[in-house]
């Protein structure tokens, strides 16, 4: 069923959908009055019937509702800044796999080094990719793509989570269920094309982050987060 996120509360059991989404319902999807959509708001999925359709506004009345199916863990991906097309890919796949938030991090070996303001312009596009992936994959929230932060700030943030993990090719333990919470917050730190400097791995370790080994094969920087996220979701019973 087509899925939309609503920023506004329903009024008397009716959602009013405007803007791009209303045009999408009428024009692209060519939906008719009486057909059903899902409207998602604040972690609730509302099954709705279309009452009125125009380019400017669509009315949809609530038939039933249930809690959106979100993963039991809150997973934040801290991704060392890769080239932009790879970051777009990582955002899309991370949203599909259930990440709650994606945070680009500037590390020593990043080849792509946009200024903060420069990246802010790109963030809008990344946030739109997250929205589209959230609709398509059936998420209950639109995962946030945060502003770029420094490696130091990243360690500070990851420290405040229940479990912090860093994929590091030169060492580390295997991803196993017993190092993950079944509920709670997990931070996953992944390198850019050039990987991490040894001093960064050391600093992460000192901050209580566990170094993780992702197998003998060298994964590209866009493959590693997808693989690790899938495994984490499996080991916490979410996949």
Among 61, 137, 146, 185, which residue interacts with a copy of itself (rule: CB under 8 A)?
137
- Interacting stretch for a copy of itself, rule CB under 8 A, among 11-19, 102-110, 117-125, 220-228? 220-228
Per-residue buried b or exposed e for 150-181, using 16+ beta carbons within 10 Å of the residue's own CB: ebeebbebbeebebbbbbbbeebeebeeeebe
CA 3 to chain CA centroid, Å, is 17
Mask: binding to a copy of itself, 65-104, rule CB under 8 A, as x and -? Answer: ----x-x---------------------x--xxx------
**Least CB distance to a copy of itself at residue 71 (A):** 8
What lies within 8 Å, CB to CB, of 110 at 6+ separation is: 80, 81, 82, 192, 194
From residue 202, give the alpha-carbon distance in Å to each of 76, 99, 156, 207, 210: 21, 26, 14, 9, 10
Residue 172 interacting with a copy of itself (CB under 8 A): no
Residue closer to a copy of itself by CB (options 156, 173) is: 173
Among 138, 172, 181, 194, binds a copy of itself (CB under 8 A): 138
Site residues for a copy of itself per CB under 8 A: 69, 71, 93, 96-98, 136-139, 174-175, 214-220, 223, 226-228, 230-231, 233-235, 237-239
């Amino acid at each position: 069923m087509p899925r939309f996120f609503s920023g506004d509360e329903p009024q008397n059991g009716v959602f009013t959908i405007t803007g791009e989404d209303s045009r999408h319902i009428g024009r692209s999807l060519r939906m008719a009055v009486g057909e059903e959509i899902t409207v998602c708001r604040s972690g609730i999925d509302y099954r709705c019937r279309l009452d009125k359709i125009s380019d400017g506004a669509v009315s949809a009345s609530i038939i039933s509702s249930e809690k959106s199916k979100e993963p039991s863990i809150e997973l934040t991906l801290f991704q060392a800044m890769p080239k932009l097309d790879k970051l777009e890919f990582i955002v899309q796949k991370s949203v599909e796999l259930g990440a709650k938030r994606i945070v680009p991090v500037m590390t020593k070996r990043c080849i792509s080094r946009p200024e903060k303001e420069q990246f802010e312009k790109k963030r809008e596009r990344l946030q739109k990719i997250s929205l589209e992936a959230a609709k398509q994959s059936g998420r209950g929230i639109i995962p946030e793509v945060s502003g770029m932060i420094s490696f130091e700030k990243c360690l500070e943030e990851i420290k405040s989570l229940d479990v912090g993990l860093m994929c590091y090719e030169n060492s580390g333990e295997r991803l196993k269920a017993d190092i993950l919470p079944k509920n709670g917050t997990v931070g996953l730190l992944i390198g850019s094309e050039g990987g991490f400097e040894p001093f960064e791995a050391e600093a992460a370790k000192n901050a209580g982050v566990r170094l993780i080994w992702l197998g003998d094969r060298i994964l590209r920087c866009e493959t590693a987060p997808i693989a690790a996220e899938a495994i984490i979701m499996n080991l916490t019973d979410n996949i």
